[in-house]
């Protein structure tokens, strides 16, 4: 009984009933934010397409061997860093050129922790969280000094790029045996290897997520959760403020928003996602090297996100997967020019679709569908 038979509003309504209803409303509110002004894609057509894509991804391992599935999992590893960069750059308007700093720090962090403490009792999961925590800590400190120090525009790119290059240079000179944290040798340019894969404790035997089908499903699920979570967050008031800051930071401040705080929050979120990618990469291949923080590595996410379309999380995701696939394909088939092709694609994007190639295609498709739907 919800007290509907009573005369006054709320009279006789039990407090115990009120709480679940409040929770239901909150849940409904967040679910409603899966669609909104800050993300493309709405209505039945979009969700059916997404469901079909997820279904196709889910049955894909039935048609190929485990090794290929493991390689496909590698594509998924990078999407978190790309979506995070999309939030910082595309939504909040600050181009970070050094997401790989968070990627590398968390990757090395996972290596050091698991090489020292092993994988028993689900420790790899804790190590994942701790390593992402390290990336968050770096993002908080670096972001605080940048945004509260009023560093803006291109200088954010310069500062973040410098940080990742410093990390790379530092890790590259740790070849000597004196460079070890406990049992974990840092190993200089050759990088760190031999850490355990993510291990899920399970009755009757732990599940080891080697680069194989199980890891693929875990990453697919995680990617879907992060993607949908970001859609909800970006359509929430938080996302509105980020977009306001991107469009006109002075106006955003003059509407009562602490611009620096929101920029910092977006930066930390992006850092956390880059850190997540770093841990997953390390756990996937059981190695990490300083070159994962070098200039090529730092430039690639920027190219993926620019190609996809930084102002929309769906375009970012599709563009990133397409670009990684292309890059991988070019490298496998012996082209030494893969990185040059990436550069050419970036130039073409900037020239012909500065908002991103995938995004502009999506906008065209959406306009066509709208006009087709509007016809009598």
Partner 1 sequence: MILQTRGLCKRFGGVHVARNIDFGIEAGEIHCLIGPNGAGKSSLFRLILGAHQPDSGTILFKDEDVTRLPPFARIRKGMSVKFQVPGIFKDLSVRQNLVISFQHHLHGHDLEATIRRVVAFAGLEGLEGKAAGTLSHGRQQWLEIGMAVGVEPSLLLLDEPTAGMSPEETRQTGEMLRVLNAQGVTILAVEHDMSFVQQIADRVTVLHFGEIFAQGSVQEIISHPGVADIYLGASDD
Q: Which residues bind partner 1 (CB under 8 A)?
A: 37, 237, 240-241, 243-244, 247-248, 250-259
State the minimum distance, in angstroms, from the CB of residue 7 to partner 1. 23
State the minimum distance, in angstroms, from the CB of residue 259 to partner 1. 7
Three-class SS of 200-238 = ECCCCCCEEECCCHHHHHHHHHHHHHHHHHHHHHHHCHH
Nearer to partner 1, 37 or 221 (CB): 37
Nearer to partner 1, 212 or 355 (CB): 355
Q: Enumerate residues 6+ apart whose C-beta is below 8 A from 139.
A: 102, 267, 268, 270, 271, 272
Nearer to partner 1, 240 or 360 (CB): 240
State the minimum distance, in angstroms, from the CB of residue 253 to partner 1. 5
**Count of Cβ atoms closer than 10 Å to residue 212 Cβ:** 17
State the minimum distance, in angstroms, from the CB of residue 2 to partner 1. 20
State the minimum distance, in angstroms, from the CB of residue 146 to partner 1. 17
- The answer to whether 112 and 181 have CB atoms below 8 angstroms apart is yes
State the minimum distance, in angstroms, from the CB of residue 29 to partner 1. 9
Nearer to partner 1, 194 or 354 (CB): 354
Nearer to partner 1, 8 or 256 (CB): 256
Specify the 3-state DSSP secondary structure of 288: strand
- The answer to whether 40 and 362 have CB atoms below 8 angstroms apart is yes
- Integer CA distances (angstroms), 167 to 102, 109, 190, 192, 279, in order: 10, 13, 15, 14, 16
Q: What gap in Å lies between CA 358 and CA 343, rounded to an integer?
A: 17
Nearer to partner 1, 25 or 335 (CB): 25
> How far is Cα of residue 243 from the mean position of the Cα atoms in its chain?
18
State the minimum distance, in angstroms, from the CB of residue 247 to partner 1. 4
Q: What gap in Å lies between CA 10 and CA 12, rounded to an integer?
A: 6
Nearer to partner 1, 209 or 259 (CB): 259
Q: What is the largest CA-CA distance in the chain?
A: 80
């Amino acid at each position: 009984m919800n007290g509907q038979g009573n005369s006054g509003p709320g009279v006789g309504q039990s407090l115990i009933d009120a709480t679940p209803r409040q929770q239901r409303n909150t849940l409904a509110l967040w679910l409603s934010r899966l669609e909104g002004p800050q993300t493309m894609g709405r209505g039945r057509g979009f969700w059916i397409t997404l469901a079909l894509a997820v279904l196709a991804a889910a049955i894909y391992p039935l048609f190929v061997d485990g090794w290929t599935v493991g390689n496909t999992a590698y594509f998924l590893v990078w999407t978190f860093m790309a979506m995070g960069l999309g939030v910082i750059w595309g939504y909040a308007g600050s181009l970070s050129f050094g997401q790989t700093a968070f990627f590398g720090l968390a990757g090395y962090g996972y290596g050091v922790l698991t090489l020292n403490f092993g994988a028993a009792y689900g420790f790899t999961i804790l190590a994942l969280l701790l390593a992402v925590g390290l990336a968050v800590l770096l993002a908080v400190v670096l972001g605080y000094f940048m945004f509260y120090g009023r560093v803006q525009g291109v200088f954010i790119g310069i500062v973040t790029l410098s940080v990742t290059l410093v990390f790379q240079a530092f890790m590259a000179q740790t070849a000597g045996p004196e460079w070890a944290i406990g049992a974990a040798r840092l190993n200089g340019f050759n990088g760190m290897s031999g850490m355990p894969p993510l291990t899920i404790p399970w009755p009757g035997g732990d599940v080891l997520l080697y680069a194989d089908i199980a890891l693929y499903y875990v990453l697919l699920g995680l990617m879907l959760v992060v993607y949908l979570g970001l859609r909800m967050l970006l359509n929430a008031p938080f996302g509105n403020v980020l977009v306001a800051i991107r469009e006109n930071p002075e106006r955003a401040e003059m509407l009562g928003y602490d611009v620096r705080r929101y920029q910092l929050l977006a930066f930390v979120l992006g850092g956390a996602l880059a850190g997540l990618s770093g841990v997953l990469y390390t756990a996937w291949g059981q190695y990490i090297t300083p070159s994962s923080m070098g200039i090529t590595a730092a430039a690639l996410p920027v190219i993926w996100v620019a190609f996809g379309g930084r102002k929309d999380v769906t375009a970012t995701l599709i563009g990133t997967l397409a670009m990684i696939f292309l890059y991988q394909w070019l490298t496998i088939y012996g082209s030494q020019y893969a990185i040059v092709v990436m550069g050419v694609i970036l130039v073409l994007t900037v020239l012909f679709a500065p908002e991103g190639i995938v995004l502009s295609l999506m906008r065209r498709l959406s306009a066509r569908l709208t006009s087709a739907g509007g016809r009598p």
